[in-house]
Every structure is written in C-alpha cells, then in structure tokens.
Structure 1
C-alpha cells in the first residue's frame, strides 16, 4: 500500500493528523492561553510556559498537554510509516497503534483543556487555548477515521 493506493479515509486521517498536530503545537507553545487586565489596567496574557507556576492545576494541565503532544507525534510517525515506508505498508498493527495513539492524544489534550478551562472564565481564554482545543479535536477525529482501515476486509 502506498499513499496513492491508500483508502480515502486513511488519507483524510493523515491530513487531519498533520493539521491537528500543527495547530496543537502552535497553541501549546504560545502564551495566549488566557488574557486579562491585571493591576492598574495592564493587559496581560499567559500560556502554559509563561512563568514558573506552582499551582497544581497549572502543572496538571502541562502534564496532560505534554502527554497529548507525545502521543500525537507517535500517531503521526506511525501513519507516515504505514503510508510511505515499504517495510510497514499494509501492516494493520501499525494502524491500530496509530489510531489508539491519536485517540489517546485527543483525550489527554481534552482533559488538560478541561482542567485549564475550569479555572478561568470563558471570556479570558485566548487564541492559543482555542488552537490547542481544535488541534486535539483533529487528532481525535483522525484516530476515529483510521478505524475502518484496521477492520479486516470481508471479501
């Protein structure tokens, strides 16, 4: 199986995974997760890595988002191996590991987003937070799109 002979759903899953991971990495690494006016009307914005925060919810969010990032990268690497490396073409186990990794990445990212979002009013959440949300959804959906590829052919 090459990229040209891959199913349409597998191609869409690959593209969704690439887009989702890109959006998530941008959101993960930028510092506009929350925006507000601080003391004396000074505009501030913070991200996951803006400063050393020792609050448990902050560290929990960082942990969940890091796990989601690692799983998303693993999922993308496995799909690339499945689609483009002769040795792994047609290996349904690679598809299984990739879809599990992508779905798990989406779940971990969502858990981190929920932890973070419960500590700030929605009007304070910034565009970095939004990109991380959308990236997590794309990764989760990409994993779901790989499920038919794993199922055995009936004919």
Structure 2
C-alpha cells in the first residue's frame, strides 16, 4: 500500500505543470457537465402569480421531443462520454505504469478533450438558438464545461509542444 502511494506521488512530481492543471480541469469539467445536462434548469419562465416554470433537456421525455431537442440531448450526452474518456485517458497517462508516457494515450486524451468541448458547445448552440425563454443555470453550467474542456485540450497541446 505504501509503495502504491509512493508511485502515485512520484507520478505527480514528474508531471509537468500543464499536465497537473489538466488533471484538475478535466474532472472539474466532467462534474460540471454531468450536473449541467442532467438537471432541469436549462430554461426559466416566470408565470407571475402561478410561480416559475423550469425546463431541462429531459423534462418532456425523448419520445415526443422535437428534432432540435433530440440533437441537443445527443450532443450533450456525447460530450459527457468524451469527458469521461478524457479523464480515464489522462489518469492512464499519468498514473498507470503500462501506459505512462505513451504518446498515443496523450494524443487521444487531447482529442477527447476537444471532442467533449465541441459536442458540448454544439449542443448549447442548438438549444440556445431554438429556446425563446430565459436560459438558466443548467445551460450556463454546460457552457462553462465546454469552455473548461477547450482549455484542458489547449493545456495538453501546450504540454505536448514543450516536450
């Protein structure tokens, strides 16, 4: 057990600053995206004395959803999957001896970060162009997650260029 802790500690010491930053931003982005696309606060409509109406990607189900909403759902789910893949790959690259330092794992983690950013941002563009109500905090979280993954991908590209 002590040997495993030492191995993890040494792997973190050897990692560059950009790699350490991406190790923080990728899980943060995955959490933010996970909360953002699963919660029902993408839109907010004030109904006066009747209260407030909130809507999310999944409130009406998927069977009768319009095409643009299905596209948004698909891109947000694909973005989350790419986020989880990016997280797994960066952990493999840093901590697992069999894959540590393998260039292909590093390049795949860069591609997964940019795929996550692209899918997430494309989903919010589709949703934002169709919705007529006020956008709410779940939508904002997905916007932030897309930006976090773009930054994570850039951090990894800069790290690769510095080697």
**Cα distance change of structure 1 residues 40 and 57 upon mapping to structure 2, 3 Å threshold:** farther
Identify which range, 86-95 or 40-49, moves more after superposition. 40-49
Q: Any idea what the Cα deviations from partners look like across 1:3-32, whole Å, max 9, x if unmatched?
A: 221000011011111111111111111000
Over the aligned positions, Cα root-mean-square deviation in angstroms equals: 1.9
TM-superposed CA distance for 1:83, in Å, is 1.0
How far, CA to CA, are the matches of 1:38 and 1:151 in structure 2? 53
Report the TM-score, using the length of structure 1 for normalisation.
0.91
In the other structure, the counterpart of 1:128 is 138
Deviation at 1:37, TM superposition (A): 3.0
Select the residue among 1, 10, 27 that pairs with 2:19: 10
- Assess if the C-alpha contact under 8 Å between 1:28 and 1:48 holds in 2: yes
Within 5 Å, which residues of 2 pair with 1:57-76?
Answer: 57-76=68-87
Instruction: State the shift of 1:120 in Å.
Output: 2.3
**Distance in 2 (alpha carbons) for counterparts of 1:148 and 1:89:** 18
Q: Which runs of 5+ in 2 are unaligned?
A: 1-9
Instruction: Give CA deviations for 1:57-78 in whole Å, capped at 9, x if unaligned.
Output: 1101001111111111101100
SS at match of 2:44: strand
1:72-91, Cα deviation, whole Å (9 max, x unpaired): 11011000111111111111
2:6 aligned residue:
none
Q: How does 1:64-103 map to 2 (within 5 A)?
A: 64-103=75-114
Measure, in 2, the Cα distance between the counterparts of 1:93 and 1:38. 53
Q: Give 1:151 deviation, angstroms.
A: 3.7
Name the count of aligned residue pairs.
152
Gaps of 5+ in 1: none
Does residue 113 (structure 1) correspond to residue 124 (structure 2)? The answer is yes
